[in-house]
Amino acid sequence: MEDLPRIALITGASRGIGRSIALKLAESGHKIAINYNSHKEDAEKVLKEVESLGSEGIIVKANVSKLNEVQEMINFVEENLGNIEILYNNAGIISDSLLMRMKPEDFDRVIDTNLKGTFYCTKLCINNMIKNRWGRVINISSVVGIRGNIGQSNYSASKAGIHSFTKSIAKEVATRNITVNVIAPGYVSTATTNVLSEKVKKEVMSWIPMQRFGEPEEIAPIAAFLAKEEARYITGEIIRVDGGMAI
């Protein structure tokens, strides 16, 4: 079956992995809604890159942890590009500390952005996908959602929550030609990991059989593949892209 040009929303696409997914999709001629929260200039740069690849796009500001902002974002995308057919729940944050020092608000902020944001965006996109009898939801989690990590109880819980959420929704919508999957990256060179100290980076490296961090461009191809017709029988799956870290 041929791949049609589709309409995709990528949350947190102003930088890092989200930006890389936007550029990969643009190569296939999809129309792309680039969501950002605080870095408008970065989102505008991504839009220019998308357009230079011959695709159409828009930027759209929304904090995915706020239901009303997610609703406004989806309305804006539908009015300006059309119904969202492919959703990438990629926006995510960290707020690391050991449990004994973790403030309840640090726990809430991470859960609200990573897990509730995924819930809000999926909930508000799924009805149209069901109506159209076609859809793709691709959630970006993390290997720490599988193996846990010291200082990341909030983050790893949010990502593990995404895993079970994905499996449940995959079952709910399987008969409607909609697939719901997870990509679980390992450590990837982005703003999130650039702040790690050399000491921490060295320790992390000892966990990775490939002995290096990944690049955003190494996540984007599988993210694009999961949106294709060829991937139609893959659902409820968690695909690690982690240099072997969670083997």
- Cα-to-chain-centroid distance, residue 118: 9
Kindly calculate the radius of gyration of the chain based on its CA atoms and give it in whole angstroms: 17
122 binds ligand NDP per the rule CB under 6 A: no
Which residue in the block uniquely carries the two structure tokens 């969501």?
Answer: 35
Q: From residue 29 to residue 58, what is the string marking binding to ligand NDP with x (rule CB under 6 A)?
A: ------xxxxx-------------------
Is 155 a known active-site residue? yes
Instruction: Please state, in angstroms and as integers, the Cα–Cα distance from residue 60 to each residue in 15, 131, 243, following that order.
Output: 14, 24, 33
| Range 99-107 contact pairs with CB under 8 angstroms and sequence separation of 24 or more | 99/153, 102/153, 102/154, 106/154, 107/153, 107/154
Q: How far is the CB of 67 from ligand NDP (least distance, A)?
A: 12
Structural tokens at position 99: 């449990």
What number of chain residues touch ligand NDP (CB under 6 A)? 30
Largest CA distance in the chain: 53
Alpha-carbon distance 197 to 151, whole Å?
A: 14
Q: How far is the CB of 16 from ligand NDP (least distance, A)?
A: 2
Q: How far is the CB of 114 from ligand NDP (least distance, A)?
A: 6
Residue from 28, 53, 56, 63 in contact with ligand NDP (CB under 6 A): 63
CB closer to ligand NDP out of 190 and 235: 190
185 binds ligand NDP per the rule CB under 6 A: yes
Residue from 174, 191, 200, 210 in contact with ligand NDP (CB under 6 A): 191
CB closer to ligand NDP out of 90 and 134: 90
Alpha-carbon distance 48 to 71, whole Å?
A: 25
The identity of residue 187, as a single letter, is Y
Q: From residue 70 to residue 109, what is the string marking binding to ligand NDP with x (rule CB under 6 A)?
A: --------------------xxxx----------------
Structural tokens at position 145: 């959602």
Catalytic residues: 155
Q: Which positions touch ligand NDP (CB under 6 A)?
A: 11-18, 35-39, 63-65, 90-93, 113, 140, 142, 185, 187-188, 190-193
